[in-house]
Amino acid sequence: MKVERNIALLSILFIALIFIKCDDDTPGGMSMDDDDITVISGDVELNPALVAEGKETFRFDTFGDEAFWSDVLHIDKAILGEELGGFGPGVSPETALAVGLKVDAEALPAELVTAISAGEVDLTDPATTVALLSLDAVVGLKGTFDDDGNLTALGVTCASCHATVDDSFAPGIGRRLDGWANRDLDVGAIVNLSDNVQAVAELLTVPEATLRSILAQWGPGRYNAVVFLDGKATTPDGQIATNLIPAAYGMQGVELVTYTGWGDLTYWNALVATLEMNGHGPLVDPRLDDPVQYPIAAANNFGNTMDPEDRVTDKLEGLAQYQLSLEPPVPPAGSFDEVAALIGKDLFEGKADCSSCHLQEILADNVLHSADEIGIDDFESSRSPTGMYRTTPLRGLFAHMKGGFYHDGRYETLLEVINHYDDHFSLELTEDEKSNLVEYLKSI
């Protein structure tokens, strides 16, 4: 149960789809005006001390969100299970791994690693999950313990959605990979472990049974970020509305950090920490006051969120610096055809004209595009204040292929993406050319 809740927090992190800058008139707060935008670019000089501070924030800071995830949703009690003073069967490591949570092997003592390897640790016991939490070994989850070692609260961090592990020890257990999208995380399943989703159902003005049904259909690596602002749980054709959890590495020079260009990196972090994670922080954004586009946000005054206990604002600079330090990963040797990739690169920059939007060096253009321009529907873009889609940065593409491509995973393979643009722009690519383009995309 706690695991689901943690995942819920993880997915909620993904909801951060906007950006704002500190307003001098709002002490400690975040606000946005048309001419008051701070852009974090690849030209920012990284401060080693701030990067180190941001790393700790990214991995372990909950911004005080335990008040929601434990006090309201009781996720800590769901993890404990009835035998340990909570409710239900509890969440074992086996269950936690099954819903996409990850374990940092480097946080485990050598004797525990040996015991796990020897099969001497019960991975079906919720008490083992509690022990892992006490070691800060569950990626993206932060437990609070009393003097007797009892779990008293649980919170979620940025790493819950935007970090995974390399599986070097076992599936779901290995060295941390910060910035990688956790496409195994089943946020909906985790939230459904709570015994008290009524508060969320009331926020969205739907029956609890309806909410649980929707959550059960989200699936791994997916989350509906804007539903907490506009209440839209399904697409116009009746499909469940979800987006893929995005990668958070390779942000150098990228000014629009969400699928629909709500804003920059600093605002993204502020919105997620305050509204999605339910941490203690201020957020001021007049765009959320629109009762037609954002009925949920307007009704709850989310665009004017104030909290006297600000645990967010002074963490934003370091957090952004750490994220900007995360370079895109390099594809493994042998994972693509090198000769074909070189030919594909020429096509990418030539006949296919992909580079007109995916510009070197960041493979993006920091430009917003209409749905018609890229040949898709405007459902998701219409939910953004921009009404547009941003060009997705492609560096490190191989590491977030699971779940499909585009914001909602509508294309299962790279070839399907290429076929879409071949048709939309009448490129008349041959099958060999398409194949070479696929190899190039796998190589970047």
CATH number for the domain harbouring residue 343: 1.10.760.10
Q: For position 42, what pLDDT does the model report?
A: 52
In a domain, 359, yes or no: yes
In a domain, 154, yes or no: yes
In a domain, 93, yes or no: yes
Choosing from 244, 277, 312, the residue where a domain stops is: 244
Q: For position 257, what pLDDT does the model report?
A: 84
Choosing from 189, 216, 244, the residue where a domain stops is: 244
Q: For position 289, what pLDDT does the model report?
A: 97
What distance in Å separates the CA atoms of residue 258 and residue 263, rounded to the nearest whole number? 7
What distance in Å separates the CA atoms of residue 116 and residue 110, rounded to the nearest whole number? 10
In a domain, 45, yes or no: yes
Number of domains in the chain: 2
Range of the domain at 101: 2-244
Residues 170 and 48 grouped into a single domain: yes
Q: For position 43, what pLDDT does the model report?
A: 63
Q: For position 263, what pLDDT does the model report?
A: 87
Q: For position 8, what pLDDT does the model report?
A: 36
Pairing assessment for the beta strands 141-145 and 151-156 based on DSSP bridges? antiparallel
Residues 89 and 232 grouped into a single domain: yes
Q: For position 34, what pLDDT does the model report?
A: 38
Q: Quick one: tokens of 187?
A: 């946020």
In a domain, 406, yes or no: yes
Element (H, E) at 152: strand 151-156
Pairing assessment for the beta strands 103-104 and 173-174 based on DSSP bridges? parallel
Question: pTM, whole model, 2 decimals?
Answer: 0.88
Which residue shows structure tokens 């016991």? 125
Choosing from 244, 268, 283, the residue where a domain stops is: 244
Q: For position 194, what pLDDT does the model report?
A: 95
- Residues in the chain where the model's pLDDT stays below 50: 1-41
